Structure 1
Amino acid sequence: MNIIDTNSSLTAAPEHPAPRPPASKKKLSSAATPVADAANASTTRTTNSCVASITDLTNRLSEYLAPGDLKLVKEAYRFSDEMHLGQVRKSGEPYISHPIAVAEICAEWKLDVQAIMAALLHDVMEDQDVKKEELIERFGAPVATLVDGLSKLEKIEFQSQIEAQAENFRKMLLAMARDVRVILVKLADRLHNMRTLGAMAPEKQRRISRETMEVYVPIAHRLGLNNIYRELQDLAFSHIYPMRYRTLAKAVKAARGNRREVVNKIMEAVKDALASAGLPAQVYGREKTLYGIYRKMHDKKLSFSQVLDVYGFRIVVDSFQNSYYALGSLHALYKPMPGKFKDYIAIPKTNGYQSLHTTLIGPYGTPVEFQIRTQDMHHVAESGVAAHWLYKNEEGSLTDLQQRTHAWLQSLLDIQKQTGDSAEFLEHVKIDLFPDSVYVFTPKSKIIALPRGATALDFAYTIHTDIGDQAIATRINNEPVPLRSELKNGDIIEIITSPSSRPTPNWLTYVRTGKARSAIRHYLRTINLNESTELGKHLLAQALVAVHLNPELPDALVDKLLNESSAKSLDEIHTDIGIGKRMAALVARHILDLVEDDSPSIPFQHTGGDKAFAKRDPVIIYGSEGVSVQLAPCCMPIPGDAIIGQLKRDQGLVVHVDTCENAKRMQVKEPDRWIDVSWGEDLNRRFDTRITVTVNNERGALARIAAEIGESDVNISHVNMEDGDANDMTNIHFTIQVDDRLHLARLMRNIKHLNGVSKIVRDHG
């Protein structure tokens, strides 16, 4: 069953679980009789008066399954009914009604017999302790493997609820990567639970709905299951914000009657125009979902009337060519709005979606959105990968949609190989579940789809991990640009590599795809492991001294630390600190708490000093700690700035200027993740910062400023220009490398005195 309890967020424990029936009681099950008699037998149950029958399911399956397959489905039903006998849902229905409903949703997608059987059996391992070996013996290995992929890991001890949740997601997603039917059954399972969520307590409704919106909705979208994607969105919205949902539903219902005249007028005009052009087509009015209306109002700060004033229609034609002919007919009927045309037929979305999108100015000056597609495209648009995942085309090769889905699923396995733990794996997967994509080209004109905001470095890792690791530069549309450059639709990308190039921690600040992030972290985690261990040892010793503890830890204290931190050895903790997975200051404070909580049993000496004050000692920053300390790219702190540190998972310590607006916002959200930090002495390196110089728009201005920067012993790492507020002024943005705040101040004074310089400021993001 899948009504979620607090033990897991993947599936739910039964509301009233019954012990697994012993073999001697099998004849008591309604499913122990032939399926034709199942409905009659089920009425004899004393637990509930509801009837749970598979008549509708078998009728639907008989449309596309062979009689032999139907027999297997009935056997799976009988076994599932037997295992769930006496178990009921929160609503009071017999529990078997849930697996039947899940199987019916899968039957709508015409999934094969193994997937239907898995849908009927998907909770028996979890709820009734049926072993995988028993399922293999009864129903075969493929069905047992599917059911196992759908079962959560209840028997494993986890350190936290978050770890348990992440590990369950990882198990499901990896099973999906090996067989996409796992996630199709899981989505059907989640859909039925969302449809029946009203029986749960309000807080559980909200928690399950947030999880649905965060994970299952993006997966449904990524696989092109638009019908289930939209329904899950609306159902989750109705439970997260019930008052807003009801208010919007009432407003839409009232507005629908007022819009009928305009809708009918547009529809008749479109039908006449297409008929006059000799184009056979079906024209539908397209309703916006309540969540879609809410999100547009929220994100774009629009009123309800502004959102509802846009009318939507869908046109389904009989051929690829007629899609474009229909587009021409529409543009002849109404004037198109500039910049509002998208051709997703020539370049499909990553989930296989294909349509022509255009927005026209209709009657009364109202915007009208049209989607134009063929019947096959419409089928894929509604059902996505479920539409034909199990089928090959006539040549027996995979379709484009299947190839793209296979590539994404394969990337999950690649990420898994390079990921340290389940929480990190889930983080990387979520990054890749973006609904919006940007489409770029390789030099050989192959189309690559990436999340919006992806950079040239993301592109390099998408092509191959080795290309990403060795990237040193890129050309976009034959122009040399930095690897951090954000990609735009239609860009042609060429990556320049060098065998000597290697990833740096800074790369993590400007990649967007899960594959790139996991590959970079994997490299940083594995290179120079001894050096990372030594660095971590040094940082922990420094942190222990800061809280007035002896860096030499006694064995009893080490054993207690390892037991509470889930590490196998002290060297593992040192390594985690060195690569940024743990923070030395936090480990030191944890050790201090262990000493103070259990001081009689741990022979240990403080180095002296006020322990209460020691806890407030700032962490010293030298800027050479490597992966474990990063200087925030938003404000680029330099020595001399007042600074504050944020502890981020798998990124170590991120240092901000204490006046940074980003830092202030994050402090409000997570106040417990901020610690005091300060600069050390004898910092033997340069630090990046940004300045903007406003100059008269005259010849030679940039050259004069660049020369002054060089004479001030400052390095320029990046420069770009834009028009200033006045027509005769230009803003020049420099990213430079300086020793400290005094070095920067001297440079800014020198530049300020140059001819033509109107203003110079330091940029804090």
Structure 2
Amino acid sequence: MPTATSRPSSLCANWRWACTAWKSSTAVTPDRPRQVTWCAIVNPVAITADPANASADQPGPNKTIYQNEDPAYRVFIDSLSYLEPDEIALVIEAYHFGEDAHHGQTRLSGEPYITHPLAVAGSLSEWRMDAQAIIAALLHDVMEDTAVSKAEIAERFGKPVAELVDGLSKLEKIEFQSYQDAQAENFRKMLMAMARDLRIVLIKLADRLHNLQTMAPVRPEKRRRIALETLDIYVPIATRLGLNNISRQLQDLSFEHIHPVRFRVLTRAISAVRGNRRELLSKILEGIRNKLHESNIEAGVFGREKSLYSIYRKMVEKHLSFSQVLDIYGFRIIVRDIPHCYLALGALHSRYKPVPGKFKDYIAIPKENGYQSLHTTLIGPYGTPIEIQIRTQGMHHLSEQGIASHWLYKDSEESGANLQVKMHKWLQSLLELQSSTGDSSEFLEHVKVDLFPDEVYVFTPKGKILALPRGATVIDFAYAVHTDVGHRCIAARIDHELIPLSAELANGNQVEIITAPHASPNPAWLTYVKTGRARSKIRQFLRTIQQEGSSTLGENMLNQELQALGVLPSEIPSAIWERVIRDAGKKSRREFFADIGLGRSLAAVFARRLAAHDEVPQTEASVSLPLVVRGTEGMAIQLASCCQPIPGDPIDGMLRKDQGLLIHTHACQTARKLRNSEPQNWIHVEWGADPGQFFDVQIRVTAKNVRGVLGRVATGISQAGANIEHVSMDRENPGLYTELDFLVQVSGRQHLAALMRSLRRISDVVRIVRKQE
């Protein structure tokens, strides 16, 4: 592998001489500060001189000139005019460093490999990224594909550049058993890298864009895989960062590689429509401009064609043919300031009839990625729908360049400063989410919801606006406010009306969360929460509870086995405990007990190991006593849904690996089948003291089909001190009698018997039975 030569070593000194000579030709303009017209830029050269023959003012006479006739290189150098001269010198030095490092390497197209990092760096210079980012782009593959080290990059170009290149290299160096695992971990590493330094992901997006643009020589199946990954990972990240222009390019290129035939057909169809509708579009454009002019509103009006991918997605999602997609074109209006946005909106609504429900004000309530505009859809000539976006010039910069506008328009009053703050908060939430997520696949599952945010905007009682994904529920709102609010929520009010926790939120809702100090998350919440934050926090809480409950259960199970062997757990020396726990590969007693409670290890086996040591005193073996359960232990001990055991029922326990103990009634048919097939997993259990809480049980009441019978039965249940969780009745077969199925909560078997006796006293009740599978 070739190494870098000493060619660029004196380049900076020569560049400083050149800058001194060229300063007189520097022209500064308001729109392009430090715009430089340099003769050498037309035909860029890298100059190396013998330092002995060079002065601070001019290069030495024995100079060697390295010319680069590549037009892309010349365009790239010209695009750097916004940088300081010393920074440009360092960028050119980095180019030659990378060119030497990649010497002899080619892309699949046969082009020199350096053309790829040059193109990536060119994208960054278009965004006016800083010199460090551009240098990192030029060198982003040298650590991966050449013998260049991080230390060498740090020495030549500084530690920040080396960290950027190292961060980019680490995104590539991962191997996994499956593509899904690799994708999930890539996604996680991308977002974590973004949290450290946004420039890493901007370089990576530019890298992916150029790779998609040059994938013709790649095998079709690999092109498809890369394109699918782009849609799944890179597009949502670009969108979340507000890089809508990049996002559209990535989408269209991916579409072309995934469905090449459909892409060509749709391209030809749009080309044909472009000619057919030219007159109509011109008429609409003229009508909009005339109306704005009549209203004394200075504005730029531009027609825009929607991206191929967005048209294709609309056809697929709404099952439309191309001829049915009328809104292929949209119009964008750029005005001077925010008041003129609303004036323009009013003027257009007086010219064309607006479509109800199609107006969105993203100026008053910006999207999470900082996007601002007024959106409206109007009915144009011949009933053609016209989609309009109205925004200021600053909003337009932000909508196209997103987070990159922080570098593009630093001096603008409408810079990306607010977006920087929003992105920082979002990235901090990613770090928090990462710390509370079990693995990369779970992290991917949580975050992707937040990356496709078709949003609703809701209010706290104090008027604070929260943006949540469409379909978000009250629980999502609670966790968005604070983790503790989510953990303790029991109900909510939407617009002052009590609603269940599963209720979906709508735009403009005012939401108030009702909490209780001893409440905790219910596993059922996972079936209807939408946001990654809520899902992650619930799972983290349940994992913690499961670990604690499993540890207690495992300790009780081990103690039971030890007592059966005549060993008192308290009499076992600490050294013996530590040895057995270490041999089991665990770090603590809590982890050791949890493993037993989750069914990963057998209590009897470890009881014998502990009792086998000579140092352990033994007494006379006792009869094995049943394990005492209360039914309130949480995740570690669960009650089977098939038979719904309640205190007082004869019960058995089935130990399930990684899930803890499942309690069945002794008469349960499901339990009998499992007992025959897995006898080794069953242990003798019995109810402990009064647990002080209610348990679910189902009863079926057969009653005369007369008016008011449901109310009388429900009253009877309430008077018996039971709670009604759910009720259903047979409406399909009306007759003399009806069957009412109740899910009620009772404290135990005695309470259930008292309830059933009470209901039998109702004259219309014919029969009552407890329902069990």
Offset from partner CA, 1:725-762 (integer Å, 9 cap, x none): xxxxxxx999866999xx9xx99xx99x999xxxxxx9
CA distance in 1, matches of 2:594, 2:164: 38
Cα distance change, pair 397–206 in 1 and its aligned pair in 2 (3 A): closer
Indicate the residue corresponding to 1:36 in structure 2.
44
Task: Tell me if the contact between 2:153 and 2:161 (Cα under 8 Å) persists in the aligned partners.
Answer: yes
Say if 2:715 is the partner of 1:715: no
Indicate the residue corresponding to 1:478 in structure 2.
496
Task: Tell me if the contact between 1:393 and 1:399 (Cα under 8 Å) persists in the aligned partners.
Answer: no
Give how far 1:464 is off.
2.5
CA distance in 2, matches of 1:490, 1:570: 51
* Unmatched segments (≥5 aa) in structure 2: 16-42, 48-63, 559-580, 603-629, 646-656, 663-680, 733-739, 765-770
CA distance in 2, matches of 1:433, 1:539: 45
Offset from partner CA, 1:670-694 (integer Å, 9 cap, x none): xxxxxxx99x999998459999xxx
Give how far 1:532 is off.
2.5
Cα distance change, pair 366–704 in 1 and its aligned pair in 2 (3 A): farther
Indicate the residue corresponding to 2:22 in structure 1.
none
Give how far 1:287 is off.
1.0
Task: Tell me if the contact between 1:719 and 1:734 (Cα under 8 Å) persists in the aligned partners.
Answer: yes
Indicate the residue corresponding to 2:76 in structure 1.
57
Cα distance change, pair 402–702 in 1 and its aligned pair in 2 (3 A): farther
User: What is the percent sequence identity of the aligned residues?
Assistant: 56
Say if 2:398 is the partner of 1:380: yes
Give how far 1:364 is off.
1.1
Give how far 1:105 is off.
1.0
Say if 2:285 is the partner of 1:267: yes
CA distance in 2, matches of 1:396, 1:329: 25
Offset from partner CA, 1:226-251 (integer Å, 9 cap, x none): 11111111111111122222221122
Report 1:136-215 matches (<5 A).
136-152=154-170, 162-215=180-233
Report 1:111-126 matches (<5 A).
111-126=129-144
CA distance in 1, matches of 2:167, 2:294: 54
Return the letter of the residue paired with 2:355: M
Give how far 1:576 is off.
7.7
Give how far 1:444 is off.
2.1
Report 1:329-728 matches (<5 A).
329-388=347-406, 399-527=417-545, 529-533=547-551, 575=594, 627=635, 686-687=695-696, 703=711, 706-707=714-715, 710=718, 715-717=723-725
CA distance in 2, matches of 1:502, 1:254: 60
Cα distance change, pair 167–106 in 1 and its aligned pair in 2 (3 A): same
Indicate the residue corresponding to 1:97 in structure 2.
115
Cα distance change, pair 171–535 in 1 and its aligned pair in 2 (3 A): farther
CA distance in 1, matches of 2:204, 2:282: 40
Offset from partner CA, 1:492-525 (integer Å, 9 cap, x none): 2223334433333333233222222222222333
Return the letter of the residue paired with 1:221: T
Task: Tell me if the contact between 1:195 and 1:235 (Cα under 8 Å) persists in the aligned partners.
Answer: yes
CA distance in 2, matches of 1:630, 1:300: 44
- Bigger Rg, structure 1 or 2: 2
Q: Secondary structure at the match of 2:359?
A: strand
Match of 1:283 among 282, 301, 304: 301
Task: Tell me if the contact between 1:310 and 1:368 (Cα under 8 Å) persists in the aligned partners.
Answer: no
Offset from partner CA, 1:131-178 (integer Å, 9 cap, x none): 333322222222222222212366677565544443343233112112
CA distance in 1, matches of 2:313, 2:633: 43
Offset from partner CA, 1:574-616 (integer Å, 9 cap, x none): 85897xxxx969x99xxxxxxxxxxxxxxxxxxxxxxxxxxxx
Task: Tell me if the contact between 1:389 and 1:402 (Cα under 8 Å) persists in the aligned partners.
Answer: no
Match of 2:243 among 209, 213, 225: 225
Return the letter of the residue paired with 1:56: V
Q: Give the length in aligned residue pairs.
A: 629
Offset from partner CA, 1:288-312 (integer Å, 9 cap, x none): 2111111111111222112135642
Task: Tell me if the contact between 2:453 and 2:468 (Cα under 8 Å) persists in the aligned partners.
Answer: no
CA distance in 1, matches of 2:661, 2:316: 34
Cα distance change, pair 523–251 in 1 and its aligned pair in 2 (3 A): same
TM-score of the superposed pair, with normalisation by structure 2 = 0.69
Q: Secondary structure at the match of 1:198?
A: coil
Task: Tell me if the contact between 2:242 and 2:401 (Cα under 8 Å) persists in the aligned partners.
Answer: yes
Offset from partner CA, 1:438-460 (integer Å, 9 cap, x none): 11112222211111122222222
CA distance in 2, matches of 1:76, 1:690: 78
Task: Tell me if the contact between 2:91 and 2:131 (Cα under 8 Å) persists in the aligned partners.
Answer: yes
Offset from partner CA, 1:547-582 (integer Å, 9 cap, x none): xxxxxxxxxxx99998xxxx989986985897xxxx
Indicate the residue corresponding to 1:553 in structure 2.
none
CA distance in 1, matches of 2:476, 2:346: 37
CA distance in 2, matches of 1:682, 1:68: 81
Indicate the residue corresponding to 1:235 in structure 2.
253
CA distance in 1, matches of 2:368, 2:658: 29
CA distance in 2, matches of 1:399, 1:510: 35
CA distance in 1, matches of 2:190, 2:390: 36
* Unmatched segments (≥5 aa) in structure 1: 1-18, 45-49, 541-557, 589-621, 641-648, 655-676, 725-731, 756-761
Return the letter of the residue paired with 2:87: D
CA distance in 2, matches of 1:687, 1:305: 56
CA distance in 1, matches of 2:491, 2:122: 53
Return the letter of the residue paired with 1:192: H
Give how far 1:411 is off.
0.5
Q: Secondary structure at the match of 1:308?
A: coil
CA distance in 2, matches of 1:397, 1:311: 29
TM-score of the superposed pair, with normalisation by structure 1 = 0.70
Give how far 1:425 is off.
2.4
Task: Tell me if the contact between 1:505 and 1:627 (Cα under 8 Å) persists in the aligned partners.
Answer: no
Report the more deviating stretch, 114-123 or 511-520. Answer: 511-520
Cα distance change, pair 438–54 in 1 and its aligned pair in 2 (3 A): same
Indicate the residue corresponding to 2:29 in structure 1.
none
- Provide the aligned C-alpha RMSD in A: 5.1
CA distance in 1, matches of 2:381, 2:711: 57
Offset from partner CA, 1:594-642 (integer Å, 9 cap, x none): xxxxxxxxxxxxxxxxxxxxxxxxxxxx99895589999xxx97769xx
Return the letter of the residue paired with 1:464: H
Q: Secondary structure at the match of 1:200?
A: coil
Cα distance change, pair 74–255 in 1 and its aligned pair in 2 (3 A): same
CA distance in 2, matches of 1:258, 1:493: 50
Give how far 1:482 is off.
2.8
Return the letter of the residue paired with 2:75: D
